[in-house]
Amino acid sequence: MIQPTYLQKNDTVAIVSTARKISLPEIQPAIELLKSWGLKVVVGETIGFEEHQFAGTDAQRTADFQKMLDNQKIKAIWCARGGYGTVRIIDKLDFTEFKKNPKWMIGYSDITVLHNHIHNLGFQTLHATMPLDVEKNQKKALNSLKKSLFGKPISYEINASEENKTGKTEGILVGGNLSMLYSLLGSETSIKTDGKILFIEDLDEYLYHIDRMLMNLKRNGYFNHLKGLVVGGMTDMHDNAIPFGKNAKKIILDIVSEFNFPIVFDFPAGHLKDNRALVFGRKVELEVSEEKTSIKF
């Protein structure tokens, strides 16, 4: 997997919205953060645009993103927020110039569309917090983003969850938001997971839908040759009046029970204040013991 060039002081980062609308004041803390790191910032036209829920029309969001893709002075594109909408523009984007001059793509949630699409082009991306979240993020999350962008070594060690499945493995890290992975199945943006380590997270879903999405991934072979599973925040899950009978962790364990790869729960990434940066497309070492979990990039 090709790695975009690490950032240096005075490099330029673009902030755009590929999905839901967002205002300039909402991203101001992120602008100040980047400047404090010695970086320059270009704000896309989609910041402040409105088309119902979206940050402008599909055509406007496509044009804004394409301009940043093609601009060789832009060294990273930081998606301002998620929501919904990136999938509406992905097939309109031309990655010809990006492939000649790759840059870091940063975001999570709805930005899973870009992570997966760019993974299939053969490039690494950065699953990390977004400008909308900067004010509420913990320092550990923001520091992990900075270290990842500037090429400092990153590794994580967290306490074990009792539901974990122990083991040691290595593989290229892929994945993202579960709902988005599910929605991309059957398209050219859907990823292959053979020999890889899969990360998943989600927000605001009903438990039966978590089960349905995972069953579909399973039926599509997502787990057949997987090397490991890392589960981030499964945040604000819902149940029906008649309970589903399992929480998110038990649903996951039930669906992958026939497989032998290590499983990590409660990894600090996703819709969380402590949303640690993960480099997708890079080989990682995953070790899950009874006491702790470690991930080394």
For residue range 194-246, what is the model confidence (pLDDT) as tens digits? Answer: 999 999 999 999 999 999 999 999 999 999 999 999 999 999 999 999 999 99
Q: Provide φ and ψ at 163, rounded to 5°.
A: -85, -10
Q: Which of 109, 144, 179, 183 is catalytic?
A: 109
Task: For residue 238, indicate whether it is catalytic.
Answer: no
- What pLDDT is recorded for position 292? 97
Q: Which of 183, 201, 205, 287 is catalytic?
A: 201
Q: Which of 148, 205, 271, 287 is catalytic?
A: 271
- What pLDDT is recorded for position 13? 99
Amino acid letter, 64: D
Q: Which helix (H) or strand (E) holds 256?
A: none
Q: In what order do the strands lie in the sheet with 104-107?
A: 40-43, 12-16, 74-79, 104-107, 125-127, 278-280
Residue ranges of the chain whose pLDDT lies below 50: none
- What pLDDT is recorded for position 60? 98
Helix (H, G, I), strand (E, B) or coil at 280: strand
What distance in Å separates the CA atoms of residue 144 and residue 154, rounded to the nearest whole number?
7
Task: For residue 289, indicate whether it is catalytic.
Answer: no
Task: For residue 225, indicate whether it is catalytic.
Answer: no
pTM of the predicted structure, to 2 decimals: 0.97
What distance in Å separates the CA atoms of residue 30 and residue 28, rounded to the nearest whole number?
5
Q: How many CB atoms lie within 10 A of CB 64?
A: 22
